[in-house]
């Protein structure tokens, strides 16, 4: 089955620690995206990538970093510089072949104390 | 700056009633997307509207797009409790690369 996987589903960390969230897709999509969602809020774009080895900052990139070494993978690192990292993180991918429709992973809920 | 606004933000309705959610956006875009999100879950794609005048229907939900008015509607017919969720619209924006702008979401509660 094609789809997007994110791991882990729940993640707990202490303040001051960097943490990496995994996102993998086997849809052969070129573009991948990371969003952050706070309780009761909409989605805010963190980073996105259209091709391997290239990515762009979204609206709230400060305190986050990404890499795109493989087409299938787009990991997100939440660094200690991110002031309020506790949130629900969603990864998505898209392709012109699907009308640019975004497919979402199941999400990772990060709690930092 | 591209903005996407939805209204209402909250909607409480009785089962069996009809209602419409509106999605306005501030720039030219030929593509609009509707998603559903259940509490604690990810987003599920409902509709992809790819051109002016596009209309799509699935069960009790029907979405339409008017690119001239920069408006999309999500119409709910004879609501049932299972439709309770948050609904988001989104448009894509191209400036060298594609990115998506999401609306604020409409939290729908259908009362039995």
pLDDT tens track for B31-82: 899 999 999 999 999 999 988 889 999 999 999 999 999 999 999 999 999 9
Residue A2 has pLDDT above 80, yes or no: no
- Give chain A's end-to-end CA distance (angstroms, integer): 36
User: What part of B 16-75 touches A (C-beta under 8 Å)?
Assistant: 31, 33, 35, 41-45, 48, 50
**Given an 8 Å threshold on Cβ–Cβ distance, is B88 in contact with A104?**
no
**Given an 8 Å threshold on Cβ–Cβ distance, is B33 in contact with A106?**
no
The answer to whether A6 and A22 have CB atoms below 8 angstroms apart is: yes
Residue with more model confidence, A73 or A98 = A73
Please state the φ and ψ torsions of residue B82, each to the nearest 5 degrees. Answer: -65, -15
Task: Collect all residues of chain A within an 8 Å Cβ-Cβ radius of residue B99.
Answer: 33, 45, 48, 56, 58
The whole-number pLDDT of residue A33 equals 96
- How many C-beta atoms lie closer than 10 Å to residue A69's C-beta? 10
Lowest mean pLDDT: which of A27-41, B15-29, B91-105?
B91-105
**Given an 8 Å threshold on Cβ–Cβ distance, is B44 in contact with A104?**
yes
Output DSSP code: residue B67.
T
How far apart CA A78 and CA B82 sit, in angstroms, is: 35
The answer to whether B83 and B62 have CB atoms below 8 angstroms apart is: no
């Amino acid at each position: 089955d094609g789809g997007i996987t994110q791991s882990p589903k729940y993640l707990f960390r202490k303040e001051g620690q960097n943490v990496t969230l995994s996102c993998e897709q086997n849809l052969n999509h070129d573009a991948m995206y990371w969003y952050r969602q706070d309780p009761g809020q909409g989605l805010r774009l963190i980073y996105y990538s259209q091709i391997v080895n290239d990515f762009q900052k979204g609206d709230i990139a400060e305190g986050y970093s990404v890499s795109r070494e493989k087409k299938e993978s787009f990991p997100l690192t939440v660094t200690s510089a991110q002031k309020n990292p506790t949130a629900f993180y969603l990864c998505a991918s898209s392709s012109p072949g699907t009308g640019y429709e975004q497919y979402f992973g199941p999400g990772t809920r990060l709690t930092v104390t | 700056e591209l903005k996407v606004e939805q209204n209402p933000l909250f909607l409480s309705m009785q089962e069996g009633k009809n209602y419409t959610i509106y999605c306005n956006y501030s720039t030219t875009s030929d593509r609009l997307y509707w998603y559903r999100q259940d509490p604690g879950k990810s987003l599920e794609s409902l509709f992809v509207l790819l051109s002016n005048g596009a209309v799509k229907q699935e069960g009790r939900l029907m979405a339409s797009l008017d690119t001239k008015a920069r408006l999309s509607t999500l119409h709910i017919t004879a609501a049932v409790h299972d439709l309770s969720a948050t609904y988001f619209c989104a448009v894509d924006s191209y400036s060298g690369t594609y990115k998506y702008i999401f609306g604020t979401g409409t939290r729908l509660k259908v009362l039995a």
